[in-house]
Structures are given as C-alpha cells and as structure tokens.
Amino acid sequence: MAYDFDFFVIGAGSGGVRSARIAAGHGAKVAIAEEYRVGGTCVIRGCVPKKLLVIGAHFAEDLVDARRFGWRIEGQSFDWPTLRDHVLADVDRLNRAYQSTLDTHGVTTFHARAELVGANRVRVGDREVTAAHVLIATGARPQVPDDIEGAGRGITSNEVFHLEALPRRIAIVGGGYIANEFAGIFHQLGSSVTQVLRGNRLLKEWEPALADRLLAISMEKGIDVRLNAAPSRVEQLKDGSLRLHLAHGRTVEVDQLLWATGRVPNADGLGLEALGVQRAHRGQIVVDDRGATNLPWLHAVGDVTDRVQLTPVAIREGHALADRLFGGRDWRVDYDHIPSAVFSHPPLASVGLTEPEARERLGGVRIFTADFRPMKNVLAGRDERALYKLVVDAASDRLVGAHMIGPEAPEILQALAIAVKAGLTKAELDATMALHPTMAEELVLMR
Ligand code: NDP
C-alpha cells in the first residue's frame, strides 16, 4: 500500500524533531505536526528559558560578592521585563532554528493538532493523511493537584516565563526539580519565596546528603521552606492576593502561586483508546526498549512514555527509532548512568547510584566526600559550602555514583559522568593529577 508519508511524527519537541530529522536524512518522506510551537517543552518553556533565568538570577549574588573583590557598581537595579523579553526573544530564535532544521531536511510541518483516526491514519487539522509509521512524541504537561479547592488560581511552569511583573511574594509548591530551580530564581531576583513541601525532604530521589545541604543553604539564604505542609485550599483575597491553606491550620499569603508538582504524559485526545494502544497508570504509552508500542506501525518516545523525563533521553530515543526504521541500524538507548542536574542556587548534579541505593544493591560500599568552601565563597565572605560525594563498589573499586552540590556542579559532573559510565576505578581517579586551583580537583584528591 502506498502511504502519503513514510513517517508521521506527532509533537515537535526534542524527541520528535530529532527523530523526524534523522528519518528524513535516511531518505524517508517525513511529516511532523505541532499544535503549539516547534521546539517543545525544553526549548519553549523548559530547560532553555529556565537556564537563562538561572544565569540572569545569579548576577544578584555575583554583584554582592563583587564588592569583596573591590568592585563598586552604583545605582544597580533589576528589571524583570528586560530579562523576560530577552529570554523570550532567544526562545523565538531557537524556535526558528528548529523550524529551519525541519525545512532544510525536507520535513513537512503541519502547524495543527493531530490525532490517530485509524491504523496508519492521522487527522491533522482538517486533513487526513496516511503513514507507514507514526511516532507519538507529545511530551508531558505540568500536573496541578485536582483535589485542592482553588488550585486553578496558581500558575505552572508553562506560564511562569511570561509574568507581567516579578511577584513580590510567591509560594512554590513542590520539592523537585522545578520547585527548587524557581525558588532559587525568584529569591535571587528579589521576590519573597515560600517553598511548600508536603513531606519533610527536598529531592527525594537524590543523594540525601546533597538534598539536605540544599535545604540548609536555601533556608540560610532566606527562602521560607515549609515542611510537612500539604496544601489544602487556595483562597483569593479582596486585594487579589492568594491565601494558601496548609496542613495543621497554617496559611501563607502571596501574590503568585506556582505549582511544581510533577508532570504527566500528554496522551489524551490522540485517538489511542479506539485503536487499543496500551497505556499504563499515569496514562503513559507503554513501549519496549525500542520505542515500539503494541501496534506494529505506532511508536512513542520521550516524556509521553514516562520513563526518564529528560531531554537528552528523548533525543536519543527519537534518534534510535529513526535509525532502526529507516537507517538499517538497530541500536538501543542505554539507560544506565544518566546524569542529571537541578539548576538551583547552588546547583546539584548527579550520576549513578546514591549511597542508599548502592548499600542496598552492592555487597560493600566505600564513600568518599569533599566538604569545602569554594575559594570564591571564602573571599566573598559567603559561608556556603560545596559537597562532593563519590560512591565506590568496595569489591571492584569501581566508581558507581558521583554527586555534587556547589558552583558549576553540572558543568563538572558531565565530565565525571564519563568516568562513571566507563567504569573507572577509584584508583584511576587517584592516579589522575589534580588541576590546581579548581573545585573539580577535589574529585581526584578524596582519600
Ligand atoms: P518532580 O517529580 O521533580 O517533583 C514533584 C514534586 O511535587 C515532589 O516534591 C512532590 O512531592 C511534589 N508534589 C506532587 N504532588 C503534590 C501535591 N499534591 N502537593 C504537594 N506536593 C506535591 O517534578 P517537577 O514538576 O519538579 O519536574 C518534573 C520532571 O521534569 C522532573 O522529574 C524531571 O524529570 C524533569 N525536569 C528536569 C529538569 C532538569 O533536568 N534540570 C528541570 C525541570 C524538570 P513528594 O516528594 O512528596 O512526592
């Protein structure tokens, strides 16, 4: 049977665009549909604009620290619309770059919502097309608790980049990636930040010593962290501000409320039910390690499969799928040792097993830590310590985990992730000469 396209991709985010581009490069006739903006969450309202805000926010501390290094900048001030508009302009630039990549590879772009209407059949806008293979790469969306009265009065990470004005007081609900990143951003930019946790720990999946260090530093900086404070109701007050009701009768009054309470797969309204596509408890599309669903012509990659919600993972999944379907190359994404970072102030970065995970899975474990004040902090009079932690398998001496909190931790950890991935031993780290004076030299000096 002749199809209109060899490959039809629904969703032009990180995974979808990569898959479409690689498939087109292999000679496939490819179309992609996007109902919002080409680029997806990471480029349009995630990693990229967030990281730019993190960089922008860090100047607040740098300008304070600069005084100890002899600099005086009179009349300094911060203007949120300037930062916001420059960030959004860069998002526009990237959006154009992504579109141009698709165009130069001959991918047909439909700026419309698409859904499946039969086997190998997609309705896109007011057209119906057929394709030999269809990829669902529709990502995920912020999850707002549906059992909290007035929750709709808050915003999510979708809206946060477009705020008219910097809120004077903001409550951020959550203790995960997004909550910690935006708590840092708003605090640095001058908002009064209350971070609301239903439990008593930040970043539950992370190395506990690092999460504890972030909590201590956040509180020391002046972020008001409320523990064991599950929100129950959001009330709008006469002056337009919000009163957030928390467990044990506590309340907090703010001008803005940000829900950072996880993300759910975008798999509704795609026509999956009628086709019998297998989904799991969070609505995610069930796939095997090759991105294959239970239908031979239908595939899924990225956050809609709810495996690892990280951009580089979606990109690799999309790439592997296109290579397999159209490039004659069948390879699997390796999910071991995926590094990740939280761009909080200061940032955290991690790869491999945490200490509790290693103790559970391995016979014996050796732990090495470096707990130090980076020299810039010392001169700046900033009592903020970095913490690096290495987890080593006692039997083989292999490095099985590395965890860091401190300035530039994500930049340093990306290189260290190679050592963990390569299965290098602690002895090999020790044999590496230190590069002095750096923070990273601590990694080869831990004894
Ligand atoms: P996370 O899963 O990281 O954290 C969700 C947080 O929300 C948890 O602290 C959770 O609490 C809390 N929570 C959930 N429901 C409620 C509720 N009803 N009331 C109060 N608190 C609640 O989600 P994020 O939204 O921060 O990020 C989503 C995903 O996006 C991340 O997991 C990550 O994969 C990706 N991401 C990655 C980034 C990066 O790489 N730097 C940046 C941003 C996002 P509890 O701990 O008690 O369950």
Q: Which residue's structure tokens are 């975008």?
A: 266
Its CATH architecture, for the domain 5-142+264-326, is: 3-Layer(bba) Sandwich (3.50)
Q: Which of 51, 149, 156, 177 maximizes ligand 1 atoms within 8 Å of its Cβ, making it the mutation to test the pocket?
A: 177
pLDDT at 50: 98
Q: Tell me the CA–centroid distance for residue 176 and ligand 1, in Å.
A: 4
What integer best gives the mean pLDDT of the chain? 97
Checking if the pLDDT of 363 tops 90, the result is: no
Do 5-142+264-326 and 151-261 fold alike per CATH?
yes
* Chain mean position to CA 69: 34
In the predicted structure, residue 437 carries a pLDDT above the cut 90: yes
CA of 175 to the centre of ligand 1 (A): 6
Best residue among 149, 198, 201 to mutate for probing ligand 1's pocket (most ligand atoms within 8 Å of CB) is 198
203 Cα to the center of ligand 1, angstroms: 8
Q: Which residues contact 113 (CB under 8 A, 6 or more apart)?
A: 33, 35, 124, 125
Q: Residue 1: its pLDDT value, please?
A: 77
Please state whether 39 falls in left (phi above 0), alpha (psi between -120 and 50) or beta: left
Q: Rounded to 5 degrees, what are φ and ψ at 262?
A: 95, 170
Please name the residue whose Cα sits nearest to atom 14 of ligand 1: 261
Top mutation candidate among 47, 181, 261, 304 for ligand 1, by most atoms within 8 Å of CB: 261
What is the per-residue pLDDT for 18? 98
pLDDT digits (tens, 9 = 90+) for 19-75: 999 999 999 999 999 999 999 999 999 999 999 999 999 999 999 999 999 999 999
CB neighbourhood size of 7 (10 A): 27
Pocket around ligand 1: residues whose beta carbon is below 6 Å from it?
Answer: 145, 173-179, 198-199, 204, 230-231, 260-263, 309-310, 340-343
Does the model's pTM come out above 0.85?
yes
The CATH code of domain 151-261 reads 3.50.50.60
Tens of pLDDT, residues 107-153 = 999 999 999 999 999 999 999 999 999 999 999 999 999 999 999 99
CA distances, 247 to each of 73, 175, 179, 403 (Å): 44, 16, 19, 33
Q: Which atom, in ligand 1's list, is nearest to the CA of 175?
A: 9
Check if the beta carbon of residue 144 is closer than 8 Å to that of residue 299: no
Which atom of ligand 1 is nearest the CA belonging to 340? Answer: 40
Mean pLDDT for 228-250 is 97
Q: Catalytic amino acids?
A: 436
| Domain parsing of the chain, residue ranges | 5-142+264-326, 151-261, 346-444
Percent of the chain with pLDDT over 90: 99
Q: Where in 11-90 does DSSP place strands (E)?
A: 30-33
- From ligand 1's centre to the CA of 266, what distance in Å? 16
Taking CA atoms only, the protein residue closest to ligand 1 atom 20 is: 198
Instruction: Say how many Å lie between the first and final Cα of the chain, rounded.
Output: 66
Protein residue closest via CA to atom 16 of ligand 1: 261
Q: What is the number of the ligand 1 atom nearest to the C-alpha of 46?
A: 43
* pLDDT exceeds 80 at position 207: yes
Query: Atom 38 of ligand 1 has which residue's CA nearest to it?
Result: 177
Q: How confident is the model at residue 277 (pLDDT cuts 50, 70, 90)?
A: very high
Q: Is 326 exposed, middle or buried (0-12, 13-18, 19+ CB in 10 A)?
A: buried
Inform me whether the pLDDT recorded for 187 exceeds 90.
yes
The CATH code of domain 346-444 reads 3.30.390.30
In angstroms, rounded to a whole number, what is the distance separating the alpha carbons of residues 116 and 8? Answer: 11
Minimum CA distance residue for ligand 1 atom 9: 175
Q: Residue 312: which residues within 8 A CB-CB, separation 6 or more?
A: 338
Q: What is the pLDDT of residue 404?
A: 98
Q: Average pLDDT, stretch 348-362?
A: 97
